[in-house]
Structure 1
Amino acid sequence: MAEPILFISEFSSPYAYIAAQMVDEVAKKHGRSVDWLPISLGHLWKAIGHNSQGVAPRKMQYSMKDWTRCARQMGLPIVTKPDSFPANPKVPLRVFYHLKASDPAKAEAFARAVFDRFWGKGQPISDAADLEGIAKELGIDPADLVVAENDEAAKKAVADAVAKAEELGAFGTPTFFVDGEMYWGHDRLDALDRDLAAKS
């Protein structure tokens, strides 16, 4: 079986939100699956010694225009800068890995819904209470959100995901790995697509 495309993302990343809408189509073209690996970008930066103290205002102004343009060109709803940006990803990450342990498909659906809530609707995602609507839509007992938040195995899975991203050489999101190659940025999915096509 062909190796899956590893998709490293962060819920506060608008470009990861965009990539989440694109990666399945590329994977299916080449008979690949997608392995979702959401992380805390702040923890990855700390692990690799990156100074993440602020972004130059001029760069941020441009970036907000750019990610909004990219989303709208794809027909995606987007809030340029949600009120709670950047979100603390601790709780949604723990819920994701709690779900992934038994139902990877539901974990992926959860991740997509978190992206949509934050970037598509501009609503908060950092607390368990923020995620209750998503839970109900996916048939998850909202009480399980608190269970997931305190799940030691899920906490470890989050830390392991960051460690895996560091080990592979990732430094930002979205990042994709497949067949030993790394691609950083949603706009590099085209290069990934072409590389996989060249192998077939």
Structure 2
Amino acid sequence: MARIVEFYYAIGSRYCYLAQSQVARLEAIGHVAIRWRPLLSEALMRARGLTPFQDKAVSVQYLPEYRSEDAGRWAAYYGIPYREPAWKSIDWRRVNMAAVAAARLGDVAAYSRRLFDFAFGLGAKAIDDGDLIRLAQEAGLDGKRLVAMLDDPETQDLHQRTIDDAVAAGAFGVPTFVVDGEVFWGNDRLILLQHHLQQDAA
């Protein structure tokens, strides 16, 4: 039976884009299944009562300029494209809720990958409902139904349950992977997660 690794992520995160590109490599270790759990990162941080993005940045590592440069370096290391999206032109809440709605419809992983590729692989200038529908259809989902579900109470409830589960597991930001009761936060901790999974597989 496959071990379940909970993957908490937000579409509007550079580091989630990077981390999701490595999911297939993690699953290839053997007897591992990644459960994709989309959420709004701001909601998770509010639930934890801690955020490094309030007011003035608490460290240079949280400045957008540094994070963009850092993400570009990681993307080059992974061999994937990285282009900055038009951050202020995109309703990230709506995009993330689209991923949550996809979790109700079917293949949330396939849809999330398309959202990530469009946002960060192509450097989206905007992501409107037409894009959400088209990308859903490419992932084999009913795009029009998905968009109609964005403000549905059941979608909101699913998002809140995901936040609650993330907090209960000890997550405080994204990307976070949880397995065997252990929390691995950040794209740069993937090597530690891989080591943990390999040790168990051995």
TM-score range, shorter chain: 0.7 to 0.9
Secondary structure of 2:75's aligned partner? helix
Q: How does 1:74-153 map to 2 (within 5 A)?
A: 74-79=78-83, 81-85=84-88, 87-103=90-106, 106-123=107-124, 127-153=128-154
The number of equivalent residue pairs is: 197
Q: Structure 2-normalised TM-score?
A: 0.86
C-alpha displacement of 1:87: 4.7
Q: How far is the alpha carbon of 1:163 from its aligned partner?
A: 1.3
> For the residues of structure 1 that align with 2:142 and 2:170, how far apart are their CA atoms?
37
Against the structure 1 CA distance between its residues 119 and 181, is the aligned structure 2 distance closer, same or farther, given a 3 Å change threshold?
Answer: same
Partner of residue 50, structure 2: 50
1:192 aligns with 2:196: no
Task: Give per-residue Cα distances to partners, 1:2-53, cap 9 Å, x unaligned.
Answer: 3211111111111110110102211221311100011111111111111432
Q: How far has the Cα of 1:127 moved from its partner?
A: 3.9
Aligned 8 A contact 2:6 2:178 in 1: yes
2:178 counterpart SS class = strand
Rounded to whole Å, the distance in 2 between the matches of 1:190 and 1:23 is 12
Q: CA separation in 1, counterparts of 2:176 and 2:58? A: 23
Q: What is the distance in 1 between the residues matched to 2:13 and 2:131?
A: 18
Q: Name the SS of the counterpart of 1:198 in structure 2.
A: helix
- Percent identity over the alignment is 28
**Structure 2: where are the runs of 5+ without partners?**
none
SS of residue matched to 1:114: helix
CA distance in 2 between partners of 1:73 and 1:180 (Å): 29
* CA deviation vs aligned residue, 1:51-71 (integer Å, no higher than 9, x gap): 432536843222221111101
Q: Does 1:180 align with 2:181?
A: yes
Structure 2 residue identity aligned to 1:5: V
Structure 1 CA distance for aligned equivalents of residues 67 and 150 of structure 2 = 32
Q: Deviations over 1:67-88 (max 9, x none)?
A: 1110122111111x32125954
- Per-residue deviation, 1:90: 2.9
The TM-score normalised by the length of structure 1 is 0.87
For structure 1, the residue ranges without an aligned partner over 5 or more in a row are none
RMSD between aligned alpha carbons? 2.2
